[in-house]
Amino acid sequence: MTDRPIPPRSEVPQELTWNLLDIFPGGDEAWLAEYEALKSLPEQIAAFRGTLGRSAEDLLRWFRAQDEASIRLGRLYGYASCKGDEDTGNSTYQDMRAKAIGTLVAISSAAAFATPEIMAIDEDTLNLFYAAQPELETYRRSIYQIRRRKAHILSPGEERLLASAGEMANAPEHIASTFRNADLTFPDVVDGQGNTRQLTDGTFVPLMMSDDRVLRKNAFDAYYKRMGEFKNTVAATLDGQFKQLKFFADARGYSSTIEASLDNTEVPVPVYLNLIEAVHNNLDKMYRYVALRKKMMGVDELHMYDVYTPIVPDADAAITYEQAKETVLEALAVLGEDYTDLLKEGFNNRWIDVYENIGKRGGAYSSGSSDPHPYVLLNHKDNLDSQFTLAHEMGHALHSYHSNKYQPTNTADYVIFVAEVASTCNEVLLMRHLLSKTTDKKQRAYLINHFLDQFKGTVYRQTMFAEFELTMGRMAESGQALTADALSEKYLALNKLYFGPDMVSDDGIALEWTRIPHFFYNYYVFQYATGFSAAVAIANRILTEGAPAVADYKKFLSGGSSTDPISLLKIAGVDMSSPEPVNSALKLFGELVDELESLL
């Protein structure tokens, strides 16, 4: 890993930043003009009240107006959000993000009458509407999505009230993000040679990947000691998060927060519960991997600060951003020239914000908005992990690109259950490509260990997070407060269960829940595990069947939310209503552990 000094935003070379002028060529001034223009939109929307069931033409006009509003709001929020993430300490852009959220809430509140009105149209009348105005067929899926949840839709006044509460509901996540990215700082740490190293939220995991065990332990201890100083604050924000989830679930007549969340995306609750059960039934494979890691590292005790560092460190090599791009293009060539041409367009036309700068949001993501194209945030380090992150996030970006290109506005946005499939499929294809290029035992062992770490981090670890999130939801639903001590006790117990007897669950790991932003995403993390399992199956089909599998996969990428997520994945040849994809992925994990042991 090559250390880079972390510069202020003003010193980052322009070619390594995203070009947000593609959204608003006039920059901040154009954004502010659009913000002012959108202030009249709630009044324009309110003018539709009482008309939606009047005629097919009125209903069509409503949906077209919604499409236009969606596009404009997506650009408004997308620009402000990305600018805010460039430097979370920049108050100007935090204010713009807040203004954008306020606009979204105001427009959502103004449109609250629509769902009850569409629900009130009787089936015979709706069928006559479709016959009278064929262009309404474009919105049949959206109309179905509204009407299928009839039992959970309230009166117009109640819907207005819930919509207006949206800004308050976003507060826990916003507070946690601001604290973590703008206010939270860490002390420098010392490595095994006595050198001082900078510890930030962005450098923590790369430091955990170091072959310097003294550095890893010092970074681990310093990070969680600091988080422990704020554990009550983070717990309070999580308590607020689950209280607001419970409020909305109760208001809409759901039996639990998880049922309310998964119903939004048409994912049956048993899929979530079955994932946890399947992983519990396969923890023996995880325990074998942990035991092998302990053996290969030659340590008397394996600690939580030992789980990221490669166990074949001599095979680790610096991978520049330019090299990472080239390798990703090679690996994804199996998806066709049209796919790699889009990758090149993103690489060459500043879709990507590459390196960490002071105040920049940590982690990586692809923006949900794809108008005029997706944007990708990275905090790139010159290592293998960042190469995989590049492939992952560009998988998201091109999924969004395909869905927006081939779907109408109302079905262009895919649901989160399928969101991690394209990204992880890219990672699996990259790994298979790298393994195909070497017969060197040490290099193969290094790559297989990295792949196993992906499995560990995506299937086992994310399922552990999902189980912890389910626990938090059940605590909130039973009236139990989410205190720091209660959360730490439950998290430590889960960590011991998932890592097994050969892992020392250090005291600090009980506080790991304080650093996981996804706990504010409303039952999101389980989909990393299900998505990884689906991606393994899809990648295997692409590599074995070729063109027909690629064609089916691109139909999936282009599907948006045109049907439910289980049906979308069936297009790509994967049935997630069955436990087979998860079991198959975990079987492969076990086989890879065996191969790694034989290589070492």
**Which residues are designated catalytic?**
393
At a CB cut-off of 8 Å and minimum separation 6, what does 480 contact? Answer: 486
Residue 227 token pair: 């988080």
Alpha carbons 81 and 173: distance in angstroms, whole number = 14
Cβ contact 475:486 at 8 Å = yes
Alpha carbons 145 and 138: distance in angstroms, whole number = 13
Alpha carbons 168 and 574: distance in angstroms, whole number = 39
Alpha-carbon separation of residue 592 from 369, 407, 458, 533 (angstroms): 37, 39, 15, 15
Residue 479 burial (10 A CB sphere; 0-12, 13-18, 19+)? exposed
Alpha carbons 215 and 398: distance in angstroms, whole number = 38
Amino acid at site 42: P
User: Would strands 302-303 and 352-353 be described as parallel, antiparallel, or unpaired?
Assistant: unpaired
Alpha carbons 231 and 227: distance in angstroms, whole number = 6
Scanning 252-383, the segments in alpha helix (DSSP H) are 257-263, 269-281, 283-297, 321-331, 337-348
Q: Which residue do the tokens 């510890």 mark?
A: 199
Alpha carbons 251 and 425: distance in angstroms, whole number = 38
Alpha carbons 58 and 69: distance in angstroms, whole number = 17
Q: Determine the number of helices (DSSP H) and then strands (DSSP E) in the chain.
A: 27, 7
Residue 139 token pair: 């919105």
User: Could you give the maximum distance between any two Cα atoms of the chain, in Å?
Assistant: 78
Q: Is 235 left (phi over 0), alpha (psi -120 to 50) or beta?
A: alpha
Residue 350 token pair: 């500043």
Amino acid at site 595: E
Alpha-carbon separation of residue 381 from 204, 319, 321, 390, 432 (angstroms): 12, 8, 8, 11, 22
